[in-house]
Amino acid sequence: MLAQLKQRLESLPARRRVAQQGELFSRFCERAKAAKQNAQEAAKAAANAKLAFNEFDDKETIARAKQAGRRAQRLYKKLKENPETVSDASVEESIAALSSQALSALAECRRAWGSLLSSKLSGRSTLADVVAKVLPRHGAELRQTVSDLQTAAARPPVEKAQAERVRKSVDHFDTLLNKVGLTDEVGTFLKDVAGPNGARIKSLENQTVRDFLDEHKLWPIFRVRLQ
């Protein structure tokens, strides 16, 4: 008898509406929590990336994360003042926009971090291949450092310790290269290759550099700027 009464009560329109609102609110909380985590991760990673490399541009990531935070605050305020609006279409649109904004901040941070690491790796990766041919022992360590940086490029540092490890890996690579002890002309050429702009084609007019490339059959692995 009691079970039948409970079933009848739960089938009433008002009870069904309350249950539906409860489900909507639970889903809202889950999605809002995920958005908050994405925005916080983006902001933290951007700050740590800036610590690792001062040239990291964190402005866009921080701006998007802050926009997500403001949107979330407005949404929470609206629901606090009138919980029944959780079933409104405008609330669903707001939570979708919030989730998108937070994901956008995280995606921008990952893109910027990956791009920066790639710019630092392009020349150094080539140098590691060169040294591996000329001095295999040093080359192996340089290649391992490049591999570590390639792994780090896949995800921005969410902890300061991660950012510090990446910074030290880049410094370690350059320290190892300085220990190799190549001739001045060749060393200058290789450092230019490792730089963000690459080596100029004019540098190939240097006979010492040309002889070095000939001796070790390195021509195929270099790219130089025409200007």
Cβ-Cβ contacts under 8 Å for 107 (sequence gap 6 or more): none
Residue 199 φ then ψ, to 5°? -90, 150
Gap between the Cα atoms of 37 and 183, Å rounded? 51
pLDDT at 14: 56
pLDDT at 9: 43
- Token readout for 21 is 């609102």
Give me the tens of pLDDT residue by residue for the chain, a chain 227 residues long: 435 544 554 554 555 566 666 777 788 888 888 999 999 999 999 999 999 999 999 999 999 999 998 888 888 888 778 877 777 888 888 889 999 999 999 999 999 999 999 988 877 887 788 777 777 777 888 889 999 999 999 999 999 999 999 999 999 988 887 777 666 788 788 777 766 677 788 888 888 888 888 887 778 776 666 55
DSSP, collapsed to helix, strand or coil, labels residue 170 as: helix
Identity of the residue numbered 92: E
Gap between the Cα atoms of 152 and 12, Å rounded? 57
Gap between the Cα atoms of 227 and 211, Å rounded? 22
pLDDT at 223: 63
Q: Could you identify the residue written with the tokens 């409970």?
A: 6
pLDDT at 126: 78
